[in-house]
């Protein structure tokens, strides 16, 4: 992090410039995971900024899980993934107008990629779990007293199994937040599916996913996942 990196005439607020500097330093490897950052005084001198601006930038980076403060020791670059790192992305999604289709597109890409990535990891126990997840969804969705809320819970549990098969904590956390964001809209869409008597089609789309996983059918993953999410898009 060099002193000339802060441009006083930059149109960006000073705090944002400091955050950008930390981001660039991490990307370039000047700061590595677990590194202790220089003292407040040293950073102020290097960047030629005031303490208040630096402290505000550090507070934001702590809130985003990029930095962690060790009382009596100093401030460190986070050395592992934190769910807080997803906050800026999540807010960007939430505040986007008409985000339902974009979210479905994202989940389509994630599911297709997750199945592709984890194809060789699906052992007998995991296959039994995904089949049990399908059976639970079928039972919940076809019950006489089926509710959109109950179907949402069963559907979410089913798709969680697909993402968890990757053992990728970032993907798992991202999908968890996406489920929270989309809960209301998905329940509303599921209500439409019930009213239009399309539950059988909903179940069939999940059966196709299980089939492509069980057969480890690499060639048809994209087609099956695309068809699955097109069904949901058609209900919007």
In this prediction the pTM is 0.75
Half-sphere exposure of 205 (CA within 13 A, CB side): 18
Do 53 and 117 belong together in one domain? no
Do 57 and 89 belong together in one domain? no
CATH code, 66: 1.10.10.10
Q: Are 105 and 228 in contact (CB under 8 A)?
A: no
DSSP string, 22-80: HHHHHHTTSS-TTPBPPPHHHHHHHHT--HHHHHHHHHHHHHTTSEEEETTTEEEE--S
Measured between alpha carbons, how far is 169 from 83 in angstroms, rounded to an integer? Answer: 9
pLDDT at res. 81: 85
How confident is the model over 76-121, as pLDDT tens digits? Answer: 999 988 888 887 877 777 777 667 888 899 899 999 999 999 999 9
Give the C-alpha distances (Å, rounded to integers) separating 28 from 32, 72, 217. 9, 28, 40
pLDDT at res. 8: 47
Residues paired with residue 70 on neighbouring β-strands, in sequence order: 74
CATH code, 171: 1.20.120.530
Range of 72's domain? 3-80
CA angle at 193 for the pair 207 and 224, rounded to the nearest 5°: 30
Domain boundary residue, one of 28, 61, 80: 80
pLDDT at res. 179: 92
- In 3-state terms, what secondary structure has residue 174? helix
Using the predicted structure, report yes or no on whether residue 36 has a pLDDT greater than 90: yes
Q: Name the average pLDDT for the chain.
A: 91
Domain boundary residue, one of 31, 60, 80: 80
Do 40 and 76 belong together in one domain? yes
Q: How many domains are contained in the chain? A: 2
Measured between alpha carbons, how far is 193 from 30 in angstroms, rounded to an integer? Answer: 52
pLDDT at res. 92: 77
How confident is the model over 138-197, as pLDDT tens digits? Answer: 999 999 999 999 999 999 999 999 999 999 998 998 899 889 888 999 999 999 999 999
Q: What is the DSSP letter of 120?
A: G
């Amino acid at each position: 992090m060099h002193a000339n990196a802060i441009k006083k005439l930059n149109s960006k607020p000073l705090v944002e410039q400091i955050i950008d500097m930390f981001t660039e330093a991490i990307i370039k490897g000047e700061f590595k995971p677990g590194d202790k950052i220089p003292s407040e005084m040293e950073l102020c001198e290097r960047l030629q900024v005031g303490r208040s601006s630096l402290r505000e930038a550090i507070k934001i980076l702590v809130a985003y899980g990029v930095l962690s403060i060790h009382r009596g020791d100093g401030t460190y670059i986070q050395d592992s993934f934190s769910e807080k790192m997803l906050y800026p992305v999540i807010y960007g999604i939430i505040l986007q107008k008409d985000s339902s289709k974009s979210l479905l597109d994202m989940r389509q890409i994630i599911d297709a990629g997750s199945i592709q990535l984890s194809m060789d990891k699906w052992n007998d126990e995991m296959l039994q779990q995904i089949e049990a997840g399908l059976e639970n969804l079928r039972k919940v969705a076809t019950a006489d007293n089926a509710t959109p809320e109950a179907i949402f819970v069963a559907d979410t549990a089913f798709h969680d199994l697909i993402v968890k098969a990757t053992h990728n904590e970032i993907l798992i956390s991202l999908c968890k937040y996406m489920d929270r964001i989309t809960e209301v809209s998905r329940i509303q869409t599921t209500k439409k599916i019930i009213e239009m008597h399309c539950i059988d089609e909903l179940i069939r789309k999940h059966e196709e996913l299980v089939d492509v996983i069980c057969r480890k059918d690499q060639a048809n993953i994209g087609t099956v996942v695309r068809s699955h999410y097109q069904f949901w898009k058609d209900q919007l």
